[in-house]
Amino acid sequence: MNKTLVISGATRGIGKEILYYFASRNVDVAFTYNSNEEIALEICKDVIDKYKIKAKCYPLDILEPNDYKELFKKIDEDFNRVDYFISNAIISGRSVVGGFAPFMRLKPKGLNNIYTATVLSFVVGAQEATKRMQKNGGGSIISLSSTGNLVYTPNYAGHGSSKASLETMVKYAAADLGELNVRVNAISGGPIDTDALKKFPNYEEVKLEVVKRSPLSRMGETKDLAPMAYFLCSDEASWCTGQTMIIDGGTSF
């Protein structure tokens, strides 16, 4: 029987790449979209045709973390099991106003939204996933973090501080869920060329700086993170929990 991955925000960027990486290795995929239903349906059809796996997409707004409860009930109806959960989705645009800004322009509402979408959504999603994983004797949970919590990035205080909190939450989850054989880790990426990064007002500047700072002299690409996600879900990583794996082309040093 195929294993099942549940992943949030897999219509674009890093999430989409991870979805294809798992699907091409015979993992069934249950994934979420927010605004791009049409794209999500196309992805579903494409992976079913290409890899003969089971795939289904569901709407989710990570600003409403409790919606994960209903989401997992729907997934229960469509899939027999949940083995892996990846909390990947991230908010941008209007909902981060006052959160994506220089320090003196930060506002509680924008900061709260980022914290809700990043940390609280991870908590509720991981709790619901764990209840299902328990039935299979264990599983693997991953959250996407970013090196913006280690390296100053203009306007990134809201995201960076939420990612720092997320990494600590991952450690606590790992400590508490180990007895269920549920492993919990974070993957922290350096700047990766996705829509989220293109929304940075200084996108071109960031890109040049990354290439300059990286010993590998290039920008991060979505394909750089997916193999680590797959490794962390595999049995090869069976003693790996409570960690943050940094993949940043060497830029944070």
Ligand X SMILES: NC(=O)c1ccc[n+]([C@@H]2O[C@H](COP(=O)([O-])OP(=O)(O)OC[C@H]3O[C@@H](n4cnc5c(N)ncnc54)[C@H](OP(=O)(O)O)[C@@H]3O)[C@@H](O)[C@H]2O)c1
Q: In whole angstroms, give the CA distance from residue 222 to residue 12.
A: 10
Residues of this chain, 172-191, that bind ligand X according to CB under 6 A: 189, 191
Q: Does 62 bind ligand X (CB under 6 A)?
A: yes
Would you count residue 214 as binding ligand X (CB under 6 A)?
no
Residue 195 interacts with ligand X (CB under 6 A): yes or no: yes
228 interacts with ligand X by CB under 6 A: no
**Nearest residue to the partner ligand X, using Cβ:** 13
Q: Which is nearer to ligand X, 134 or 205 (CB)?
A: 205
Q: Which of 5, 6, 7, 14 binds ligand X (CB under 6 A)?
A: 14
Q: Is residue 11 at the binding interface for ligand X, with CB under 6 A as the rule? A: yes
By rule CB under 6 A, what string of x and - marks binding of each residue 76-115 to ligand X? ------------xxxxx-----------------------
Q: Are 55 and 111 in contact (CB under 8 A)?
A: no
For 94, the token pair is 């209007």
Nearest CA-CA partner of 225 in 184, 170, 185, 187: 187
d(CA 63, CA 249) in angstroms, rounded, equals 31
Taking phi over 0 as left and psi of -120 to 50 as alpha, with beta for the rest, 20 belongs to: alpha
Looking at the Cβ atoms of 88 and 130, the one nearer to ligand X is 88
Alpha-carbon distances, residue 243 vs 82, 155, 196 (angstroms): 22, 26, 24
**Is 15 one of the binding residues for ligand X (CB under 6 A)?**
yes
Q: Are strands 55-59 and 182-189 parallel, antiparallel or unpaired?
A: unpaired
Residue 34 touching ligand X (CB under 6 A): yes
Smallest gap from residue 135 Cβ to ligand X (A)? 26
Work out which of 61, 123, 134, 234 binds ligand X, going by CB under 6 A. 61
- Residue 52 Rama label (left phi>0; alpha psi -120 to 50; beta): left
Q: What angle do CA 139, 11, 237 make, to 5 degrees?
A: 25
The residue (of 35 and 238) whose beta carbon lies closer to ligand X is 35
Q: Based on the shown chain and the rule CB under 6 A, indicate whether residue 146 belongs to the binding site for ligand X.
A: yes
Interacting residues toward ligand X by CB under 6 A: 8-15, 33-36, 60-63, 88-92, 144, 146, 189, 191-192, 194-197
